[in-house]
Chains A and B, each alone.
Chain A
Amino acid sequence: MAVCDQQDLFTYLLRLGDSGLVLGQRLSEWVGKAPMLEEEMALANMALDLVGQSRMLLSYAALVEGKGRTEDQLAMHRDVHEFTNPLLVEQPNGDFAHSMARQYFYASFAERLFDKLQHSADTQLAGIAAKAVKEFRYHARHAGLWMVRLGDGTEESRDRMIRAIQELWPYTGELFETDELDRRMLEAGIGVDLHVLRKSWREDLDRVLGEAGLPLPADDAWMHSGGRAGRHSEHLGHLLATMQFLPRAYPDAGW
């Protein structure tokens, strides 16, 4: 097993932490707006899981970096180009169908990713993964169930779900992109082979869409990319402006 560079590990953890943070922030925008009380609770619960995971990942990243930064300095004092989440999770909530499709796409991926990361050579990451995998399993099941209900509900819900999948599909390719960092982390026994995940991710998607009676998206569709390298959509800046407002406006305050 190769020795892992600390800078690599930092970036790797940051990617995972940013993804949870941005998606958690998006889900928390649903509070008070959900279609029913049970979903009010489920959405807040998923947002809470994601924020909780990202706290663990970002604190660990800060520790690995060794520059005395904290989870909050990483979350609140970085600009758009320094965020490394995939574009999918920063996409606006849209309607409930959009939010559920986005949640299913990401959670079904993350469930598989963290399942493998439980066996990472980095024991701290493995510990975080063991907790996260259970949460993502629930998120994927919950959101997948909604894809079935909406796809197989009324004409309107079916149309909305079809549109949501069409619009979000081009953001799913980035989840499985493998760059040099991923390769080095895989070699060091810390990271995961994303190609392997893709097959079972796609199988589960086909099962869900089959149950929902929804058309299957094409594997060779055009895919957006760039989030992990810090090239984001216009949406992320607004999300950060809201999220970071207080610590930026009062940088000398503790909360």
Chain B
Amino acid sequence: MYTQGLDQSDTRTPGPEEEAQLVQAFQARIDAEEKIEPRDWMPDAYRRTLVRQISQHAHSEIVGMLPEGNWITRAPSLKRKAILLAKVQDEAGHGLYLYSAAETLGTSRQQMVDQLLSGKAKYSSIFNYPTLNWADIGAIGWLVDGAAIMNQIPLCRCSYGPYSRAMVRVCKEESFHQRQGYEIMTVMARGTDAQRRMAQDALERWWWPSLMMFGPSDSDSAHTAQSMRWKIKRFTNDELRQKFVDVTVPQGHFLGLEFPDPELKLDEQTGHWNFGPIDWSEFKQVLEGNGPCNAERMRARQTAHQEGAWVRQALLAHAEKHEDIR
């Protein structure tokens, strides 16, 4: 059930001098790698940044259930159906921990969900792409969960305690998802011609959007510098993207799959895989709501919310009737 709204722990407004001291002490704690906990003083901007980031992350887990949910009823074997059900259930669980972590900063789940449904809050653009064949389920696990892990492992050391603890739990499950996804790709890539075509097609459609998951280049990223100072972020977008490419490309080649990038080339000197330019205009379009599935994903969340309203009302009404007993 949704909590109604949470009190913030610190309502007193400090004067400017006191505030400067608090900021200094706060940064000192961060520099000393201390964890910030919900009741500790923190700058408003730190709180806002975290609420934005954690709630976006939570929304992504929830919206991310939709493209994969699209194949649960059509999973090709009972074992695959069970694995996919378990994965999607994990993602719902991630959404729950993350909403809870964000709630410790004084924003209720209800508020965050309302922001998602009104279109005010963002979620990861990757989920605005469609799942068209079964290999897409493999590609999502391998690439999308794989990219998520790259982003999230450093978050296990994030300065905000509840977020970092949630991430430790989430990361364990994400790496499991990544392995399962790669296993689907392996079976498909080594299967019949038709299966191999599905695998190749899935890689072609998911590769570039996966690289975009790391966000704009460092030079164009509005939040990177401050977030690094606050130790919310530990690596830049470009660093993480390169790490992902370096890990993933050999995995794809091992399966005999081809990446849709003619410029992809191993730099013998640095050991890094160089890749071609990312089409940021596509990224911007999807971010602005013009991706292939933006409207559908939003409609699906809104419909579920509206159609579930009577259930949530009934739950509240029932609880109120029995409050005296409790």
A-side interface residues toward B, CB under 8 Å? 21, 24-25, 28-29, 31-41, 44-45, 47-48, 51-52, 54-55, 58, 71-72, 75-76, 95-96, 148-150, 152-154, 156-157, 160, 242-243, 245-247, 250, 252-255
Contacts and interface: CB of A to CB of B under 8 A. Distances in A.
B85 A48 contact: yes
B308 A35 contact: yes
A71 B78 contact: yes
Contacts of A243: 73-74
Given A35-B312, A41-B89, 6 more contacts: A31-B88, A35-B308, A41-B92, A51-B85, A156-B310, A254-B191
Given A28-B72, A255-B76, A33 B307 contact: yes
Nearest to B78: A55
A255 B194 contact: no
Contacts of A148: 318
Contacts of A246: 74-76, 134
Interface of B: 1-2, 62, 65-66, 69, 72-82, 85-86, 88-89, 92-93, 95-96, 99, 134, 187, 191-192, 194-195, 300, 303-304, 307-315, 317-318, 321
Contacts, number: 138
Nearest to B1: A36
Contacts of B192: 250, 252-253
B314 A76 contact: no
Nearest to A21: B78
Contacts of B134: 246, 255
29 contacts: A21-B78, A32-B65, A32-B66, A33-B304, A34-B304, A35-B308, A35-B311, A36-B1, A39-B308, A40-B65, A41-B89, A41-B93, A48-B82, A51-B82, A51-B85, A54-B78, A149-B314, A150-B318, A152-B318, A152-B321, A154-B313, A156-B310, A157-B313, A157-B314, A246-B75, A247-B77, A250-B192, A255-B77, A255-B80
B73 A153 contact: no
Which of A96, A252, A254 has the most C-beta atoms of chain B within 10 angstroms of its own C-beta?
A: A254
Given A156-B314, A157-B314, A37 B82 contact: no
A37 B85 CA distance: 15
Given A33-B307, A35-B308, A55 B79 contact: yes
A252 B232 CA distance: 50
B63 to A, nearest CB: 9
B187 A254 contact: yes
B311 A44 contact: no
B65 A157 contact: no
B312 A36 contact: yes
A154 B79 CA distance: 40
Contacts of A253: 76, 191-192, 194-195
Given A35-B304, A76-B77, A44 B312 contact: no
A153 B308 CA distance: 14
A64 B309 CA distance: 48
Given A36-B1, A152-B318, A247 B76 contact: yes
For B62, B82, B191, B312, the residue with the greatest tally of chain A CB atoms inside 10 Å of its CB is B82
A155 B318 CA distance: 11
A154 B192 CA distance: 55
Contacts of B75: 246
Contacts of B317: 153-154, 157
B58 to A, nearest CB: 9
Nearest to A97: B311
Contacts of A156: 310, 313-314
A44 to B, nearest CB: 4
Contacts of A29: 73
B83 to A, nearest CB: 10
Contacts of A48: 82, 85-86, 89
Given A55-B79, A247-B77, A153 B96 contact: no
Contacts of A21: 78
